Amino acid sequence: MLYLVPTPIGNLKDITLRALEVLKEVDVILAEDTRTTSHLLNHYQISKPLSPYHQHNEHKIVEHLVQQLSAGKTMALVTDAGTPGISDPAFLLVRACVQNDIEVQSLPGATAFVPALVNSGLPTNSFCFEGFLPQKKAATQCWKN
């Protein structure tokens, strides 16, 4: 089983009880940045093996992770902040799990765009999320045209 576990955005208290429960029970936690995740786990006194899973290694290790999951290991995938798969690594592993009949559970929790939308005063009955603005200055040129 693979769990997609949202992590707090800014405040460590913004995590669900279920997320904490899953992090305590899985065999391995896959982390976008093990240093950031260690801070969260230490705060909640959770001691589990951490393994890096990020945009620089996901293509190399996805097959190995699927083998471990198929063998019965349970894993939680977390990102630095928010929900895995929303502008963060998760897609390759989730797709591989689905293709190999490995159950994936996505827990509800922290997302950045929902509070931004709700607080904006814009209509919320219909919206389209196109991703976050680019972080690099040169990449933002397309937004100015």
For 19-70, the pLDDT digits (tens) are 999 999 999 999 999 999 999 999 999 999 999 999 999 999 999 999 999 9
CB atoms within 10 A of CB 9: 15
Of residues 128 and 75, more confidently modeled: 75
Domain ranges of the chain: 2-111+130-144
For residues 70-83, average pLDDT: 96
Q: Which CATH superfamily is domain 2-111+130-144 in?
A: Tetrapyrrole methylase, N-terminal domain (3.40.1010.10)
**Cβ-Cβ contacts under 8 Å for 94 (sequence gap 6 or more):** 2, 4, 85, 104
Please give the Cα distance from 33 to 52 (Å, whole number).
6
Nearest by Cα to 92 from 123, 64, 134, 113: 64
